[in-house]
Structure 1
Amino acid sequence: MHQLNSTSLRLFVASTTLGLSLPVFALNSAEIIASSISTDCLDYGVVGICFWLYCTTFGCDVEQSPKVRHYVPDAVVSSYANTGENPWSEVRKLSAPNSKATSGGDGSAGIAAENDLAKFKNADVIGHPGGAIFSQFAGQSGYGCKGAGQILMPYLLSTLDSLAWRHNIPEKVFPEALTLGMREIGSRPQSNLWGAIYPRGGFLHGVDDHKCAAVVAQRAADIVTRRGQVHVYQPLLANSQQGYWPAGEVKENAPQTGKWQELFPRQSKTCTTFPNNETHEQSPRGDYAWALWRPYTCCERKGQTFLGSTGGEQ
């Protein structure tokens, strides 16, 4: 596993967001920030009680605080056909074409009979820019949990991961990639199969461009929410602390591990998982973006020592 240089990349992102003219058909940071105010995606609830030992020079008492659980928009995951054309306009320079990652698009003309031809999508996973606004919004419901995502942090840029993303090396020989029915979004028996998670690269087969882009977004999220993967990326994970239980690995077909909010080509105020029965708008440029919301559980610290809690960790 190779890790991106976090400090230099964050500085580069910050510098590129200044003074850019925005294309007409593009997603911008202001729209992404506004989208984070969603009660449906937040899904706030009190799930238990935390107990703390609070001590002073006069003795010790056991204090309580509510244990809450809600989702946090950790990252924006973009899935797009043309290299260098992330629909999120302010961060496009991060994933510009390079000597090992040029061109893009797919081998299909969009005709149903040509579903044996391959599509290709780049993918970027970048820290959600809504931090402060979202924290204020979540705080209106009570105590809020901090997510793992850092604002504008590039967690995965497929242009820097070309060996794995464009050549499926080494994942094309992994059991998950060779075994039919293993790690798939949807299922064949239920007639809602969207695609396979492995190999976790940019190529796949399908006639519905929106669904193909969603599969690639799920692959990117699968990578960054795990440690030690054979990709060039930064793990999008936080460490457990007293009274804080962060989100873990994102798993397909499992909303309790993560949910998706569509940002582009249309913005949604609700969250869902793949597959779903929603009306899927096709982007004429083959570019899509979603916010990845993940569940966190926490309680306000009320003492020096955490004694335990009720309600389970998640």
Structure 2
Amino acid sequence: MTIRTALQLLARRCLLAALVLALACSMAFPARADTITTPMILTKTIAAMPSCLSYQVKGICFFLYCTLKGCTIRTSIRISHYVPDAIVSSYHEPLTHPWLDIGKPLAATMSAVGAAMMGMPVDASSSSAREHREMATFKSVDAIGNPAGMILAALTSGTLPDLPSAFGVPGVGELMKFPYQELPSIQQQWLSVPGTLTNNVLAGAASLAKAPSDILGKIAAIPGYLGKLQSAVGNVGSLMNAGMKLGDLGITVSKLTGVDLGPLQSVMQIAQGASGGGYPLGSLFCPGSASAFTLHFQSDLDSLFWRELIPVEMLYPASWIPTMQEVSKSPALSTWGGRYPRTGKLVQSHPVKASAVYAERVASIITRSAQPHIYAPLSPGGGFKYFSQFSGRRWQMLSPSSTSCIEFGDNDSLSLASFGDFKTSSTDGYVWNLWHNYDCCQRRGIYLFSVP
């Protein structure tokens, strides 16, 4: 058996062990239709891994490792696969948030935070009607780290992680980078807009982007809102039943690590002989960019920008030119909507498509630095050499129905059924699993090269 085959079989065995854990969790927390719980997210995430993971062994990385005794060459396996980074939910008010045990109480808290920042109540948005009855819609959206990362942590470290007792609140660090990191890029984008598209509206927008003093002045005043933010947040507190642990559900480390992994022993022996250090289980998976339950975006917290009180998104040319950033595989035939402006207002009558476009907008924010929003960017941890991250994006619907991984943007203009038909939610709340592609190897010194 080759190392490649053995590693791929190992990955499948690890996922099977994780599925046993998730199924046990789901039995402990039943939920009604159109809603979802954390154990159900674990179950559905792992059940979709055969279609979403795309695990590949790509080669070997070489590193120079030096001590006082001299230098040696160390190796690690280069791998590529998709990681379930974040859970993105869209809803029209906190009481109808579809993620019951995490998203719903968090949305209620952040609604109060948004109201404190704006100095007015954060009103609920309306449910989306269907085709001929509505054109424009508005939704609230949040992005929270997928709890599936806890399972991999237990498999690779041999310890059972605790569920978080409180949530951190994204700050304005990335927002403050916007004037000197992102704004020059926006101005460069306007220079590339064809002259044939220039008209009075676009010319005015381009001028605003070149001299956005009014908008930048409002952004500079944002730190003054931090006092209101701190007092409104207070202690977000325990949203996981006051320190509940995985062990409380009857899950133990032995149940995870005691599964027969078959070829793992052979792989470890081969690797031990080849490198002297071996390839531990944790080196066979690229860590994602989100820790379990990390709050990366919450539209009520971002109300000043999501609700366009500060219309900074209108500085982007893609907010004015429809074909620049369409959620579509064929932009000229798009039936979905644009990623820009990345706000809560959208012209889309189909509720599932609307939710999908909102998910793409939030993903566009949290995967970049210096965006004009209050958020915490996805950022991979140390210990690994990354050749690419966020290079591919897949989506899995978790609620109200469960699906395998897909990419948004199919042209269904000539189809009898639209995307999302027969998958609509009675509460207009939708939950998506955001999968990103990573290509990495574990660092074992100073990186030299990889083969291939």
Q: TM-score range by the shorter chain?
A: 0.7 to 0.9
Contact 1:81-1:287 at 8 Å conserved across structures: yes
Please, which of 126, 144, 149 is the counterpart of residue 131 of structure 1? 149
Q: Give the drift of 1:82.
A: 2.4
Larger Rg: 2
Contact 1:181-1:187 at 8 Å conserved across structures: no
2:43 matched residue in structure 1: 34
Provide, for residues 216-272 of structure 1, a one-character-per-residue CA deviation record: whole Å limited to 9, x for no partner. 011011111111111111111226766334624xxxxxxx4211111011112x211
Distance 1:78 1:231, change over 3 A: same
* AA aligned opposite 2:78: K
1:273 and 2:273 are equivalent in the alignment: no
Percent identity between the two aligned chains: 34
Distance 1:242 1:290, change over 3 A: closer
Please, which of 424, 430, 435 is the counterpart of residue 282 of structure 1? 424
Q: Give the drift of 1:64.
A: 2.9
State the SS of the aligned residue for 2:389.
coil
Distance 1:53 1:173, change over 3 A: closer
Instruction: Name the CA distance, whole Å, in 2 between partners of 1:84 and 1:174.
Output: 33
Contact 2:36-2:399 at 8 Å conserved across structures: yes
Provide, for residues 49-91 of structure 1, a one-character-per-residue CA deviation record: whole Å limited to 9, x for no partner. 2012245676544333321011111110001122443211112
Distance 1:84 1:228, change over 3 A: farther
* AA aligned opposite 2:43: A
Provide, for residues 2-46 of structure 1, a one-character-per-residue CA deviation record: whole Å limited to 9, x for no partner. xxxxxxxxxxxxxxxxxxx87523110001112232122111001
2:80 matched residue in structure 1: 69
2:297 matched residue in structure 1: 156
1:113 and 2:132 are equivalent in the alignment: yes
1:207 matched residue in structure 2: 349
Instruction: Name the CA distance, whole Å, in 2 between partners of 1:190 and 1:174.
Output: 20
Distance 1:70 1:81, change over 3 A: same
1:122 and 2:140 are equivalent in the alignment: yes
1:171 and 2:313 are equivalent in the alignment: yes
* AA aligned opposite 1:130: A
Contact 1:237-1:247 at 8 Å conserved across structures: no
Provide, for residues 168-193 of structure 1, a one-character-per-residue CA deviation record: whole Å limited to 9, x for no partner. 62213431111121101116666343
2:32 matched residue in structure 1: 24
1:298 matched residue in structure 2: 440
Aligned length: 280
- Which is helix-richer, 1 or 2? 2
1:7 matched residue in structure 2: none
Distance 1:225 1:23, change over 3 A: same
- Which is strand-richer, 1 or 2? 1
State the SS of the aligned residue for 1:257.
strand
Distance 1:189 1:267, change over 3 A: closer
* AA aligned opposite 2:298: L
Instruction: Name the CA distance, whole Å, in 2 between partners of 1:258 and 1:209.
Output: 21
Q: Give the drift of 1:299.
A: 1.8
Contact 1:75-1:127 at 8 Å conserved across structures: yes
Please, which of 219, 235, 260 is the counterpart of residue 361 of structure 2? 219
1:309 matched residue in structure 2: 450
State the SS of the aligned residue for 1:87.
coil
Instruction: Name the CA distance, whole Å, in 2 between partners of 1:187 and 1:75.
Output: 23
1:88 and 2:99 are equivalent in the alignment: yes
Please, which of 244, 256, 262 is the counterpart of residue 397 of structure 2? 262
1:251 matched residue in structure 2: none
Instruction: Name the CA distance, whole Å, in 2 between partners of 1:60 and 1:294.
Output: 36
* AA aligned opposite 1:27: I
Instruction: Name the CA distance, whole Å, in 2 between partners of 1:242 and 1:77.
Output: 26
Unaligned runs of 5+ in 2: 1-28, 116-120, 157-256, 265-280, 413-418
Q: Give the drift of 1:161.
A: 0.9
State the SS of the aligned residue for 1:133.
helix
Instruction: Name the CA distance, whole Å, in 2 between partners of 1:137 and 1:258.
Output: 25
State the SS of the aligned residue for 1:160.
coil
Contact 1:105-1:120 at 8 Å conserved across structures: yes
Instruction: Name the CA distance, whole Å, in 1 between partners of 2:69 and 2:315.
Output: 64
* AA aligned opposite 2:122: A
* AA aligned opposite 2:86: A
Unaligned runs of 5+ in 1: 1-20, 249-255
TM-score, with length taken from structure 1? 0.79
Q: Give the drift of 1:113.
A: 2.5
1:182 and 2:321 are equivalent in the alignment: no
Distance 1:59 1:33, change over 3 A: same
State the SS of the aligned residue for 2:147.
coil
